[in-house]
Amino acid sequence: MSRYFTEEHEWIDVDGDVATVGITDYAQEQLGDIVFAEVPASGTQLKKGGDAAVVESVKAASDVYAPVSGEVLEGNDALEGDPALVNSDPEGEGWFFKLTLSDPSELEGLMSADAYKAFVDGL
């Protein structure tokens, strides 16, 4: 499995042609306590860079963008009942959605873990 990152602070784990997407630890720290998360429905077609999900905290509401294009396989229903999962485990159980990649070449523009760390360190 490969993990990539975006400049909008999403992470994406890729296993074959299926990707799991969430927000990074850095992103959840910036947002503060998460009080609401809206995930896309199965079958939703997402375009790279387009709005995919919504996360709200006590500080702000923020969109979660699709790091790649594809069809949503499932949203993380656990976030509806426990949006704080995004705070407690942002890069694990706090994932937002899974999708089938429609264009694997879109992964080429994403950052590795080391590149993302350097990006965040420069903020």
Quick check: 119 pLDDT over 90?
yes
**Residue 72 burial by Cβ neighbours in a 10 Å radius (0-12, 13-18, 19+):** buried
Quick check: 96 pLDDT over 90?
yes
Going along the chain from its start, the domains and CATH numbers come out as 2-100 (2.40.50.100)
pTM: 0.96
Q: What is the pLDDT of residue 1?
A: 81
Looking at the DSSP bridge assignments, the partners of residue 13 are: 3, 20
